[in-house]
Structure 1
Amino acid sequence: MDESATVVVVGFGAAGACAAIEAAEAGADVLVIDRFTGGGATAISGGVVYAGGGTRQQQAAGVTDTPSAMYAYLRHEAGDAVSPATLRRFCDESADMLAWLEDHGVPFDARLCPYKTSYPTNRHYLYQSGSEHAHPDPAPRGHRVHAPGTSGGTLHAHLAAAARALGVRFLPQTQAVSLILTPPPESSTAEPSSAASPGPQAAPSTASPLPGPQTATSTASPSSGSQAATSAAAPSPGPQTATSTAGAEHAERRVVGVECRTLRDAPAWARFAHRRLHRWSVKPGLYLPGFGRAMHRLAARIENRHGRTLRIHAGAVVLTAGGFVFDREMMQEHAPGYRGLRLGTPGDDGSGIRLGTEAGAGVGHLGRVTLWRFLTPPSALLGGVLVDRDGHRFCDESRYGAALGDAILHRPGGRAWLLIDATVLAEARRQLRSQTLWFQRLPAWWLLTVKRLHAPTLAQLAHGAGMDPSALAATVATNNAAAAPGPGAGPSGPAAPGPGGGLSGSAVPGPGGGLSGSAVPGPGGGLSGSAVPGPGGGPSGPAAPGDMAGLIAPHGTAAGGTCDSEATVRDAVGFDDFGKPLALVRPLVRPPFSLLDMSLRASPAPMLTLGGLTVDEETGRVLRPGSTEIPGLYAAGRTAVGICSGSYVSGLSLADCVFSGRRAGRDAAASLLSLRRSWAPGSRERWSTTQDRQGISESAPEADWQGISESVPEPDRLGIPESAPESAPESAPESETAVRHTAAEASDPHPAGGAGQWGRTGG
């Protein structure tokens, strides 16, 4: 059976939804396919979008930010994954990007979190999601979607609803097996061929590519399952671009469609079981990996037994199928040193990347993986000191969790401990309930109890941990000296404001984890008035623009805190030798002393992959290793190299999904419709390819949108609800062919689960 569309999007997470919206708004006929039911890693994410430069929420919170300040920070943090021009454009368009999301129904909130955290509670939705405080002109840029719990499901639900309202068609439970290419020049009379990509759950031999020229295979194709291939990409972490002999093989060939395996015509029970098994494999599988793998294997059996071949002809194909953190062979090949809690869905198996490489695409940064070890919440733990197994401090503890994770990864044995005293421990315990959500509370309690080694003296503590007592004592002495009263002093003495505005008066943390005392703002903007949290969780005094209390980097100081063993000595005012703001340095003097085990093997560290297919940074078109374009093929999100491929802070991947997804969808539609670059977003003129739509019509039965409703669903649709339980069963009949454009579409309350290479997006 055949179908057709102007633009086919493979994967329906954030990047796929944004690509579909832009292409539909430009007038293209858009068909989205997804291996599962849509949502992918986006739907189970925290729903944080990194944005700045003066967003509406920043302005409402009294925060001053500029695109230039955002660019300066990201240039230091994200490195050279993209060109300076692309990063500048990302920052210049950031505020408008967030407004675009709001225009398409995504809700945000301006309530500012007054303390350092890895993820804010339901009282706060704007926070410092990276290491901005260690840089000039810091500003909170983490914009959490307004919803209880983890809010990625709400983000995706609204984007999906916006796509549906534009007439985008959705075909769930449909796996992209290979790309359809035009014949090579010497075989121009042959039928278009497929670059086969069975993936980890290969279809049976009866589903082999349709007859045509020989199947194209890339020697740069990342390996997976039975598809072992040799790649020139170095397995060690770091930016790299794979070379491929497939470029010449696929030269002059255009992508003209996708060959799929679909459950569209499978029995209703099979479709229901497939949905349910996938759902169980995602969030429960995140905490119980063995259970998740078992559920995914059962879902794959249904795919292989009941899937049928479907060819979709297209003017352009956009790959938004996520990363490869769930593919063990690709991880072993490209990032063998990483072991952690895989963030995403089983659909994040690198299949979208393989589709590209088998059509001749180049890859980059496949060795880059972000692995997190957060100290907060509770925020009091920022007053501790991270030491390795020799008792030496090696890092600024206030850095973002990915920087800490990378630093610990490179210590001997991946071992590290956080040294605290009784004062810090008591304060952390008090903050445990007020600063955490349900998924943060248990790990924090576990760290403060089960993973805690304590002793009445430092010498006894060192002996118990197998450390050098003299080295540990020297580390504490150095820390306590930095916390002593003096210019720009930390919490043990007066904290006179520095050039960037520090804390005046006592900097003793208040009940909500913020810093109490008078906070006189400086040029960088601190908190004015009392910073003691009020009933709503925010500062009870007026909040001037800028960073959290006490976390202001003086203007003109070196850009911040490296996590190297050889620290750069900082300016005497504002920072200690490792770049930690003095407002966070605590004297560790009150016994008993404790070592909290932060080792990577002590508890799973969340991780996700950052590399992907190389693309033209102006258009999103996929490039061959020689930087020539593959006509008709685009990539976005974690399937492509993007803004966050060099490094990561919370919200940067979702922001890049929006940025790159819009770019790809816009250019795909514009190039096919022969529009100017200054295309008209308001255009609603519909058109399709010259081929008939083969039965996908406006009057066709409704596609299974899996509850992507006009209203906001519960935040966690995968069995661990934060709010109200499901209100309708999942067993309603569907015939996954087209979307119904009536109010009845909102009847299913379950938002999308995981997108896979059958279309999962990189959220």
Structure 2
Amino acid sequence: MNTISIDSVSRFDDDADVIILGYGIAGACAGLEARRAGGDVLVVERAGGASGASMLSSGIFYLGGGTDVQAAAGFDDDPDNMYRSMIASMGPEQAELVRTYCDGNVAHFEWLEEQGVPFERSYHPDKAVFLMSTEGLMWSGNEKVWPYRDIARPVPRGHQVAMEGDASGAGAMQALLARCAEEGVRASFDSVAEALIVDEAGRVCGVSARQFGKAKLFKARRGIIVATGGFGRNTEMLTHHFPALPASAEPMGIPHTDGAGILMAVAAGGDVRGMDGLIATASIYPPGQLVKGIIVNRLGRRFVSEDSYHGRTASFIMEQPAQRAYLIVDSEIFAYPEIASAQHRLIDGFDSIVEMEAALELPPGSLVRAMEAYNEHAREGRDPLFEKHGDWLKPLDAGPWAAFDISFDRSIYYYITLGGLRIGPDAHVLDAEGNPVPGLWAAGACTAHLSPDGKSYASGMSLGPGSYFGRIAGRSAMGSS
């Protein structure tokens, strides 16, 4: 993909101070802040209306530092505690962005509510992937998983929009889009951005798009903000970065997450990071009681603490021999996983662990030893192998036993890509040397997520940082950050 020289452009079809590519939550927040900074704002959106993947999401924002929702539920959090927690699991690679995010979280939560995004002062204590109800706070990451619980005080940070159903992200988007309309954020829909326009100094100053088969040229007086989403629908990019991804895995989101914004920004000099990062999910919970089971690979060995966030568990399953994994439960905790889309198959029930071991074709004695060791320690309330939290420990000694196949290439795992454009704390796109690309900003899933992989991801780490850095991008592009 190449850029277009402004010298080759004889006329523009429209112009604005700031042009935003993509009208999901990052684009909407960027548009609002740029407009409030005095800018004429134009959003170029390839769909027939605003929404993005945010509209279809479960509406969870990863927020903390001491929000009203956390306080109402009786949890004490602060920016430093949140920062320690995030850095412990995500690593220091993007520490500057994480610090910026944590420090601004409480104010960002309040800003979201001011725009009409609703959050209940209520708490859901059980293990869940998303809520069909409207509770405002839930555990959505690895805060209680060892060793992170010893590094930072465990606090829930999954803030869910108060809207019933599994797509409450619509409640957030509807509120934000209403504000954009009220305040005069303009949009060009059905417009597929194809290339960025640069001047002789290399500054990004416009975009070429195609609308109903006709070329459209838009000039940006101050700059372009890329908010086009990830690359989960780009077969070529997926094959390059994830050669071991099985055909059974399915991308989440909308059909337009094809990486076009990333490729356009790279052509203009932008750098990328974390392109091999991916979060996959096919959760064994709810119900939460299944977390009390154990997960073993085809060698009959445990390899992850079963109370991990479902994306962390999936990442470890991806690394196992032949990507095989089995969930083992006893009669006291037996239940079927409620996330039906995962299609975890019940293999069978067994009267003994020896019988199960043979049926699963595990090495002789392997599962028997694993179960004996686990039960011995669980009776003492501990798990020296993976330090599974005591809330989820029980000896699995109430036969009969059952096994579910949760293998990565047999169940249906849904994923999103985590890599993308490299940005600074002001949301400026950076080049390979760490310098800002003139006239170019980015936010949302087209940028490298704060979580580099599924082992460190938490539900809400797309909507939370996407909306936050979208706001920063809008102000920064107008020179008012």
Which TM-score applies when normalising by structure 2? 0.92
> Aligned residue for 2:425?
618
What does residue 471 of structure 1 align with?
366
AA aligned to 2:163 is A
Q: CA deviation at 1:583?
A: 2.6
* Superposition deviation, residue 636 in structure 1: 0.9
Residue 662 of structure 1: how far off its partner (Å): 1.0
The equivalent position to 2:13 in structure 1, one of 2, 5, 22, is 2
Q: Check whether the contact 1:78–1:644 (CA below 8 A) recurs between aligned residues.
A: yes
Instruction: Give the aligned partner of residue 194 of structure 2.
Output: 177
CA distance in structure 2 between the partners assigned to 1:333 and 1:620 by the alignment: 27
Instruction: Give how far 1:112 is off.
Output: 0.8
Residue 154 of structure 2 corresponds to which residue in structure 1? 138
What is the one-letter code of the residue matched to 1:602? R
Task: Please give the per-residue CA displacement for 1:510-531, whole angstroms capped at 9, x wherever unaligned.
Answer: xxxxxxxxxxxxxxxxxxxxxx
Aligned-pair identity in percent equals: 33
Contact preservation (8 Å) 1:104, 1:162: yes
SS of the aligned residue for 1:451 comes to strand
Q: Which residue of 1 aligns with 2:233?
A: 326
1:724-763 equivalences in 2 (<5 Å): none
- Residue 443 of structure 1 deviates from its aligned partner by 4.2
**1:366 aligned to 2:308?**
no
1:335 partnered with 2:242: yes
Partner of 1:48 in structure 2? 60
d(CA) in 1 for partners of 2:283 and 2:462? 18
Q: Is the 8 A contact 1:129 1:650 kept in 2?
A: yes
Task: Quote the Cα distance in structure 2 between the aligned partners of 1:67 and 1:452.
Answer: 46
Equivalence map 1:228-307=2 (5 Å): 252-263=201-212, 307=213
User: Which residue, out of 265, 269, 274, partners 1:356?
Assistant: 265
Query: For residue 113 of structure 1, what is the amino acid of its counterpart?
Result: H
2:459 aligned residue? 650
Does the aligned pair in 2 maintain the 1:482–1:582 contact within 8 Å?
no
Which residues of 2 match residues 156-555 of structure 1 at below 5 A? 156-183=173-200, 252-263=201-212, 307-315=213-221, 316-339=223-246, 340-425=249-334, 428=335, 440=339, 442-443=340-341, 447=344, 450-485=345-380, 489=381
Deviation at 1:603, TM superposition (A): 1.6
1:664 matched to which residue of 2? Answer: 473
SS in 2 for 1:580: coil
Check whether the contact 1:318–1:635 (CA below 8 A) recurs between aligned residues.
Answer: yes
In structure 2, what is the Cα distance between the partners aligned to 1:166 and 1:78? 37
The secondary structure found in structure 1 opposite 2:395 is coil
Letter paired with 2:218: I
Deviation at 1:160, TM superposition (A): 1.0
Q: Structure 2: which amino acid aligns with 1:392?
A: R
Amino acid at match of 2:110: A
C-alpha distance in 2 between matches for 1:22 and 1:645: 27
Whether the 8 Å CA contact 2:341–2:412 is kept in 1: the answer is no
How much has 1:577 moved relative to structure 2?
2.3
Rounded to whole Å, the distance in 2 between the matches of 1:133 and 1:79 is: 17
| Cα drift, residue 372 of structure 1 | 2.1
Give unmatched runs, 5+ long, in structure 2: 1-11
Please, which of 153, 156, 163 is the counterpart of residue 147 of structure 1? 163
- Give the direction of change, closer, same or farther, for the CA distance of 1:469–1:591 in structure 2 (3 Å limit): farther
Structure 2 match to 1:598: 406
Amino acid corresponding to residue 310 of structure 1 in structure 2: K
1:101 to 98, 101, 112: 112
Distance (whole Å) between structure 2 residues aligned to residue 145 and residue 123 of structure 1 = 7
Q: Do the aligned residues in 2 keep the contact of 1:644 with 1:656 (CA within 8 Å)?
A: no
- Aligned residues of 1:642 and 1:660 also touching (Cα < 8 A): no
Task: Report the 3-state secondary structure (helix = DSSP H, G, I; strand = E; otherwise coil) of the residue aligned with 2:209.
Answer: strand
Give the deviation of 1:626 after TM superposition.
2.2
CA distance in 2, matches of 1:624, 1:67: 29
CA offsets per residue over residues 358-409 of structure 1, 9 Å max, x none? 1122111111111223221010101100001111111100001111111000
In structure 1, runs of 5+ residues without a counterpart are 184-251, 264-306, 490-573, 678-763
Does the residue aligned with 1:132 lie in a helix, a strand or coil? coil
Inter-CA distance 121–586: structure 2 relative to 1 (3 Å threshold): farther
Alpha-carbon separation, structure 2, partners of 1:478 and 1:352: 51
* Mapping for residues 668-707 of structure 1, pairs under 5 Å: 668-670=477-479, 675=480, 677=481
Contact 1:417–1:595 under 8 Å retained in 2: yes
**In the TM superposition, what is the alpha-carbon distance from 1:341 to its structure 2 partner?**
1.6
**Per-residue Cα deviation, 1:622-642 (whole angstroms, up to 9, x for no partner):** 222222222111111111224
Pairwise CA RMSD? 1.6
1:60 is matched with which residue: 69, 72, 75?
Answer: 72
Instruction: Give a deviation string over 1:548-591, Cα, whole Å, max 9, x none.
Output: xxxxxxxxxxxxxxxxxxxxxxxxxx654202012311211122
TM-superposed CA distance for 1:88, in Å, is 1.7
- What amino acid is aligned across from residue 162 of structure 1 in structure 2? R
Contact 1:576–1:582 (CA under 8 A) maintained in structure 2: no
Q: Give the secondary structure class of the aligned counterpart of 1:424.
A: coil
How far does the alpha carbon of each residue in 1:675-720 deviate from its partner, in whole angstroms, 9 at most, with x for none? 5x5xxxxxxxxxxxxxxxxxxxxxxxxxxxxxxxxxxxxxxxxxxx
The separation in 2 between residues aligned to 1:593 and 1:362, in whole angstroms, is 51
Cα distance in 2 between the residues matched to 1:163 and 1:81: 34
Pair 462,575 (structure 1): closer, same or farther in 2 beyond 3 Å: closer
Which residue identity is paired with 2:316? Answer: A
> Could you tell me whether the CA contact under 8 Å between 2:134 and 2:164 is conserved in 1?
no
2:426 corresponds to 1:632: no
2:41 counterpart residue number: 30
1:15 to 20, 26, 38: 26
Q: CA deviation at 1:67?
A: 1.5
- The worse-fitting range, judged by mean Cα deviation, of 406-415 and 450-459 is 450-459
The structural deviation recorded for 1:323 is 0.6
Report the Cα offset of residue 121 of structure 1.
Answer: 3.2
The 8 Å contact of residues 335 and 366 in structure 1, kept in 2 or not, is answered as: no
Contact 2:134 2:163 in 1 (8 A): no
Query: Tell me, what secondary structure is at the counterpart of 2:315?
Result: helix
Higher percent of residues as strand:
2
Equivalent residues of 1:81, 1:641 under 8 A apart: no
Aligned equivalents of 1:464, 1:575: Cα separation in 2: 27
Aligned equivalents of 2:135 and 2:293: distance in 1? 25
SS at match of 1:397: coil
- The AA in structure 2 aligned to 1:459 is V
> Compared with structure 1, are the counterparts of its residues 13 and 660 closer, same or farther at alpha carbon in structure 2 (3 Å cutoff)?
same
Letter of the structure 2 residue corresponding to residue 592 of structure 1 = P
TM-score, scaled relative to structure 1: 0.58
CA distance in 1, matches of 2:169, 2:134: 17
Higher Rg: 1
Given that 1:623 and 1:629 are in contact with CA atoms closer than 8 Å, whether structure 2 keeps it comes out as yes
